[in-house]
């Protein structure tokens, strides 16, 4: 029996497309996979619908849930953080980058988003993701890694004229 060793990793969001839309009103979430092959960049954009001036005081983060077939290299992430290109926290904080998909576990990563200079109500984050090797197959050599929609975490401070400063937090689970 011969096995195919050339493989194509197909990464899809839960909805089956390479972009996901938020189900929450006034918030739009889009995701795009950039580059080809085993080393990709996951670009996530969040647009807060209301054109409120308080949006400038918001901190937006995403919690990505990566399946066992994908991982983030902790050394690459540390380098990006050292150069102030991203701020993120991996759960668990140790990742075996050599482990194949069938021996790996799912990974969660919280990424703080940066304001998008091209859009007053938008935030974006780029996360380098890598595909793991899968078991050889007899068919076309494709393996599916299902990327779930991220959780959106928003924290905003809003000043009110008579009551001083108040803080409000929204947490949206996009699904």
Q: How many contiguous H segments (helices) and E segments (strands) does the chain have?
A: 1, 12
For residue 3, tell me if it sits in a domain.
no
Matching residue, tokens 């004229």: 161
- Extract the tokens encoding 30: 């889009």
94, part of any domain? yes
- Whether 131 is in a domain gets the answer yes
Question: Is residue 159's pLDDT more than 70?
Answer: no
pTM recorded for the entire structure: 0.74
Reading the block at residue 153, the tokens are 């975490």
Structure-token pair, residue 103:
């021996």
What is the extent of the structural domain holding 43? Answer: 8-173
Specify if 1 maps to a domain.
no
Asked if the structure places residue 161 within a domain, the reply is yes
pLDDT of residue 50: 62
Q: Report how many domains make up the chain.
A: 1
Confidence (pLDDT) at 49: 74
Q: What is the CATH number of the domain that holds 165?
A: 2.60.40
3-class secondary-structure state, position 43: strand
Quote the CA–CA distance of 22 and 47 in Å, as a whole number. Answer: 10
Q: Residue 37, exposed/middle/buried by CB under 10 A (0-12, 13-18, 19+)? A: exposed
**C-alpha distances in Å from residue 66, one per residue of 49, 55, 102, 110:** 27, 28, 14, 11
Q: C-alpha angle with apex 116: 49 to 34, nearest 5 degrees?
A: 105
Q: How many residues in total does the chain contain?
A: 175
Average pLDDT of the residues of the chain: 77
* Residue 124 is assigned to a structural domain of this protein: yes
Whether 2 is covered by a domain: the verdict is no
Is 129 within a domain? yes
Each residue's pLDDT tens digit, 49-108: 765 556 777 889 999 999 999 999 999 999 999 998 889 998 877 899 999 999 999 999
């Amino acid at each position: 029996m011969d096995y195919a060793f050339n493989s194509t990793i197909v990464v899809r969001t839960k909805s089956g497309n390479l972009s996901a839309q938020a189900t929450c009103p006034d918030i739009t979430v889009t995701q795009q996979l950039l580059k080809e092959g085993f080393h990709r960049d996951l670009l996530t954009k969040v647009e807060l619908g209301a054109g409120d001036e308080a949006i400038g005081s918001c901190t937006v983060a995403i919690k990505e849930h990566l399946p066992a077939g994908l991982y983030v290299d902790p050394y690459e992430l540390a380098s990006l953080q050292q150069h102030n290109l991203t701020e993120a926290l991996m759960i668990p904080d140790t990742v075996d980058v050599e482990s194949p998909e069938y021996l790996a576990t799912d990974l969660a990563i919280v990424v703080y988003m940066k304001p998008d200079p091209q859009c007053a109500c938008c935030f974006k984050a780029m996360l380098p993701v890598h595909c793991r090797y899968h078991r050889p197959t007899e068919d076309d050599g494709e393996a599916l890694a299902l990327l779930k929609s991220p959780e959106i975490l928003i924290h905003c401070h809003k000043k009110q004229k008579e009551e001083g400063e108040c803080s409000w937090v929204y947490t949206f689970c996009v699904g």
